[in-house]
Structure 1
Amino acid sequence: MSESQKKFIAAEKAVQECEENITALSQAQSSLCFIQPAGNHRWLISSKEKPGIQIGVAVDEKTGVVTRLNWRQVFE
Structure 2
Amino acid sequence: MASEKAILDCQNNLSHLSQLQDNACFIEPTGKNQWRISSKEKPTIEVHVNMDETTGFITRLNWRQVFE
With normalisation by structure 2, the TM-score equals 0.90
Q: How many residue pairs were aligned?
A: 66
- 2:53 corresponds to which residue? 61
Q: Which region of structure 1 is more displaced relative to structure 2, 40-49 or 30-39? A: 30-39
More strand by share: 2
The normalised TM-score by structure 1 is: 0.81
1:20 alignment counterpart: 12
Distance 2:11 2:23 in 1: 13
5+ unaligned residues in a row in structure 2: which ranges? none
SS at match of 1:34: strand
Q: Helix, strand or coil: the match of 2:2?
A: helix
Give the structure with higher Rg (CA). 1
Structure 1: 5+ residue runs without aligned partners? 1-8
User: What percent of counterpart residues are identical?
Assistant: 55
